[in-house]
Structure 1
């Protein structure tokens, strides 16, 4: 039974080493497997402590797995929130960028005729819509920078009061 467990461990280690970047660095997997075997054999010589050690290791591994799972769930939730917020931020930046360039191209051409027709073009619906996008996108981008600055100041620059004993 113990031999089967050791060969399974060796097989898993060998597979992980041969599929990782260590293979490119020419690390000798046989030396690593020999070290693992010697550690496993030295642990198996202590039969009286072996059962308690194995149960402690199993308990520790289960606890680590539980906390890692909870941590990953939390990280995924936070990542979704960040992606949603940054997606909205990027949308407003893209809208501002393209609306600014389209306003210059369609509403204020860069020539003498554009200078003459610009008073008439500013009242057209597409120019008013582009101007609205540019104005509101700029305000929203400014507000987002303000919110980011406030959040950074409130989380990083926290002043703790001294407590007197």
Structure 2
């Protein structure tokens, strides 16, 4: 009796079987999957190509901004670097939004198909995830540029504060 009861409780509930498809439905399903995979692969390739251009340009710009911040004499080089990184983050977000719009513009011919297949929301969530991941990496890379410049910025700031004590008093770091 105990064995029978333990067998009842030890059985795992079976998941319902997927409904079987007719050969025509299966062929349509397979074709949809093929189209979807081709579409996402093409979009990922485009994003990779465009993102590398954006990444290289933005990292060069932030480095130049840090360099010029060390050369100017009106403001604390460290404060300039903080402001520049803050602006960098804003520009990176704008670039992310612009690349998303560019993807939609470049692949506009797929909009009708996506609407017909009722996958617009899925495509948008996928695109947002892909872009968020890429641009998070760009934000972090910009922060790395800033930390790589930390010692030279600190030295420049110390020198600036000695050279311009009145300006330094008006521009505390905290």
TM above 0.5: no
Please indicate the TM-score interval, normalised by the length of the shorter structure: 0.3 to 0.5
What TM-score do the two structures reach when normalised by structure 1? 0.34
Query: Which structure would you say has the larger RCO, counting Cα contacts within 8 Å and 6 or more residues apart?
Result: 2
What TM-score do the two structures reach when normalised by structure 2? 0.33
- Between Structure 1 and Structure 2, whose CA radius of gyration is higher? 1
